Amino acid sequence: PYVLVESDRLALALLGCNFFGRPAERMTMIGITGTNGKTSSTLLLKQVLEACLGAKVGLIGTMANMIGQETIPTERTTPESFELQALFAKMRDAGCTHVVMEVSSHAISLERIGGIRFDVAAFTNLTEDHLDFHKTMDAYCAAKAELFRRCRLAVVNADDSYSDRILAAAACPVLTTGVHRPADLRGEDLELLAQGIHFTAVSGDERAAVSLPIPGTFTVYNALTVMGIAKQLGISLTDCAAALKTVSGVKGRVEVVPTPGKPYSILIDYAHTPDGLENVLSSVKDFCKGRVIAVFGCGGDRDPMKRPIMGHIGVKLSDFAVITSDNPRTEDPMAIIEDILTGVKQEDGEYIVIEDRRAAIRYAMDIGKKDDIIILAGKGHETYQDIGGVKRHLDEREEVAAHLREKEETAWEN
């Protein structure tokens, strides 16, 4: 005997829902999708819900899965459907009242979230990525838009060029956010500093002063997404803003690396897409008093079309670029770098190629001067480098600390 179904993936997802007793229905489900900003927004939202509601919150995302304060390692942004339902069941049994999760386009297209109806879904932005899977931006957008047919309430970044398509797909009430375009929740009076951001959140007659210890214009957008979701859940802007003032930074997202006694600063960021790299470099240029030095590469076995674009952006928006290796995976690292250089050479900018990422980081530190900001882009929270399909330990924080120690020891010897 057998059962004939239209979609085996959807069937597996529905089986998982029922096998584990439909756990998602027992918790408030919040899904955040978009090319950039998912990880930061989910981690910020988790802290806001804990502070404002006293909730026990489950988290599913790129960096880790969490049940309250317990961390569970993860290998993909959104687990496969049966694994996901098992995780929901653990969260339910542990007393979680809310689940905040990153929802990747793969998860939507491959029905990993089949059978789940979200209480709130949010859209951050859409830029070129994952075209090795989706082939076109239209298909990529359509995958994201599908989430908004599976939710009760939505939050959409109106400033994004694809927001109209998401709004058209939404089958529920939507709260829009933005800085430049008309929106239900707006960010005004932006103040961008090296130590963080300040702005005023405005929604109708409600206003709140917002401060976060995380620099960058994109932090304003992430905060607006979080505040929009909180508002849809009945949390006031004032309470949400108070909670945001106390949040801790997100590892690998504009993360400040200690450089005691050095005249330059170092930031680690996960920027691994053209838009992500453009956002972080543009934001840093807003408050950098010296040079912006960018250390970046591109991943192997991923969309090759973005490599020249990232090369062009990296050289255009930095004062000096160090082109290096990211996660080459099974590709030749130098072949990837050659693709990047196609875009680099479109700009008359200064750059150097250093394939070895450790050596590239050390070189950037060696040329750092007063008030320079060195951006180590692409790895973020990752503590490995995938070369030839083998993951080797590489923690950029450790590399920075080790080089500082070596320089100090050399100075003592001399």
- Domains and their CATH numbers in the chain: 8-244 (3.40.1190.10), 255-413 (3.90.190.20)
**From edge to edge, which strands make up the β-sheet containing 351-353?**
255-257, 265-269, 373-377, 292-296, 320-323, 351-353
**In whole angstroms, how far apart are CA 307 and each of 127, 202, 272, 396?**
14, 38, 10, 22
- The pLDDT value given to residue 280: 93
| Beta strands in 105-249, from DSSP E residues, in sequence order | 118-123, 151-157, 174-178, 185-193, 196-203, 206-212
Closest CA to 168 of 191, 186, 141, 134: 141
Q: What is the DSSP string of 350-394?
A: -EEE--SHHHHHHHHHHH--TT-EEEEES-TT--EEEETTEEEE-
Query: Which residues neighbour 122 within 8 Å (Cβ) at sequence distance 6 or greater?
Result: 30, 31, 32, 33, 34, 41, 154, 155, 156, 225, 228, 229
| Distance separating alpha carbons of residues 186 and 207, to the nearest angstrom | 10
Task: Report d(CA 200, CA 181) in Å as an integer.
Answer: 15
Does the predicted TM-score (pTM) go above 0.95? Answer: no
Q: Look at residue 361 in the predicted model and tell me its pLDDT.
A: 99
Question: In angstroms, what CA-CA distances link 63 with 39, 42, 201, 381, 383?
Answer: 7, 11, 28, 7, 11
- Tell me the C-alpha distance between 203 and 182, whole Å: 11
Question: How far is residue 119 CA from its own chain's centroid?
Answer: 22
The Cα–Cα gap between 348 and 3 comes to: 62
Residue type, position 410, single letter: T
Q: Under a CB-based contact definition with an 8 Å cutoff, are residues 202 and 189 in contact? A: no
User: So what's the pLDDT on residue 410?
Assistant: 82
Query: Residue 123: which of 41, 213, 246 has the closest Cα?
Result: 41
- pLDDT (tens place) for every residue of the chain, 414 residues total: 888 998 999 999 999 999 999 999 999 999 999 988 999 999 999 999 999 999 999 999 988 899 999 998 777 777 899 999 999 999 999 999 999 999 988 888 888 999 999 999 999 999 866 566 656 888 889 989 999 999 999 999 999 999 999 999 999 999 999 999 999 999 999 998 888 899 999 999 999 999 998 888 999 999 999 999 999 999 999 999 999 999 988 889 889 899 999 999 999 999 999 988 998 999 899 889 999 999 999 999 998 999 999 999 999 999 999 999 999 999 999 999 999 999 999 999 999 999 999 999 999 999 999 999 999 999 999 999 999 999 999 999 999 999 999 998 887 776
298 within 8 A of 307, measured Cβ to Cβ: yes
Q: How far apart are CA 252 and CA 384, in angstroms?
A: 13
> Which pLDDT score is estimated for 105?
86
CA distance 321 to 360: 10
For residue 285, what are its two tokens?
A: 């240029």
Q: For residues 263 and 294, what is the distance between their CA atoms, to the nearest angstrom?
A: 17
Q: What is the pLDDT of residue 248?
A: 85
